[in-house]
Amino acid sequence: MPNDNWVWKHPNWPNFVFPPDQLADAESTFIKGAGINIGIASQLNTEQQGELEVQLLSAMALETSEIEGEILNRDSVQASIRKQLGLQTEPRTSTPAESGIAEMMVSLFQRYQDPLTHETLSEWHCMVMQGPRDIGTMGAYRTHQEPMQIVSGPEYDRKIHFEAPPSSQVKDEMNKFLTWFTDTAPDGYQPMGPLTRAAIAHVWFECIHPYEDGNGRIGRAIAEKAIAQSIGCPTVSSLSNIMLERRKQYYAELAKMNRRLDIEEWLSWFADVALSAQQNTRQNVLFLIEKAKLFDRTSSHLNQRQEKVISRLFDAGPKGFIGGLSAANYRSLTGASTASTTRDLTDLVGRNILTRTGERKSTRYYLNIESDIKGL
């Protein structure tokens, strides 16, 4: 196959090919699951719902950045998101990259119903590209004359994985894409199921690759927006979480779409990711409910050190500290002596707030939450 036989050069581009009802069952399952998640979340009070938003948005910000190899500080991102949402937060300095991705996530969440426009994408790009970036154009589509290529390998043996449409075509390509996105919205003249629409939107945007940098983060945000619009609720579906876990396969599946319009395989893969992500979201909601129950039950019985550590364990999410909480972790977080650490942890286990596994230096502690939440 010629090296330049890219999908956007196909005479039928961008008419992607797939069975019309391919995701019918997955769409039905996803919509039912969304209803369940919304129902569970309705049990939360206003403060808890705000906390849920912070947890989901910060996780999405961290994970979509990590997919691109950028590791951000969780506490700084959460502080930026709290500030953006108008929630109380401790003063904390965030890097431009952390505050920028936080601003984009909040914009995506609060304005999910707004049409997707050139201006929206420009705003998102400015947010995502905050900080020192080696790009010539920020907040605008690329304009450079040289080909936009995804490559690997040394200079003398470069492998071209994909070449996007030339910069001169980007505006026309994006006009077609945005018109389609509007037409396939729930109130458009050709509405499309949430998973099908999100999957096509993501792969189509990545094929255009309109920016010098930031295309992956913006492309995943577009997929989230498509799902939120179709559901009619600003529910963050944690797509980036699953895509990060399956990053190698994620890139491989996208790469398959570089040269063909048949996206049947991509749709199936994306639907599986979305359904898994939905389960993650449900896990986070149930976890927050358990957090509220635990604090209601124990808040008057814990000292400040214990409250701080329990809060940090919950902030780490359902998966908790990697490898569990150790006595050394406890001392580091609280500044407690070895004797105080032992008393505090023994007390937390005795109150059924933590469970203990292992012995001596291998001893680890975990939140004693409902087993069905752990196993979701």
109: Cβ–Cβ under 8 A, 6 or more apart, which residues? Answer: 53, 57, 234, 236
Contact, 171 vs 211, CB < 8 A? no
Q: What is the predicted pLDDT for the residue at 318?
A: 67
Q: What is the predicted pLDDT for the residue at 52?
A: 83
Write the CA distances from 15 to 168, 180, 200, integer angstroms: 21, 11, 10
Q: What is the predicted pLDDT for the residue at 376?
A: 40
Q: What is the predicted pLDDT for the residue at 373?
A: 42
Q: What is the predicted pLDDT for the residue at 88?
A: 76
Q: What is the predicted pLDDT for the residue at 147?
A: 85
Distance separating alpha carbons of residues 296 and 233, to the nearest angstrom: 29
Structural domains of the chain, ranges and CATH numbers in brackets: 18-141+169-284 (1.10.3290.10), 302-374 (1.10.10.10)
Contact, 89 vs 69, CB < 8 A? no
* ∠ Cα 45 296 333 (to 5°): 105
Residues in the chain: 376
Structure tokens at 44: 């939360």
Residues of the chain with pLDDT under 70: 1-4, 132-134, 156, 235-236, 299, 317-322, 370-376
Structure tokens at 249: 């396969």
Stated pTM of the model: 0.85
| Greatest Cα pair distance in the chain | 74
Distance separating alpha carbons of residues 219 and 205, to the nearest angstrom: 6
Distance separating alpha carbons of residues 68 and 66, to the nearest angstrom: 5
Q: What is the predicted pLDDT for the residue at 295?
A: 73
142: Cβ–Cβ under 8 A, 6 or more apart, which residues? Answer: 148, 167, 170, 210, 211, 212
Q: What is the predicted pLDDT for the residue at 119?
A: 97
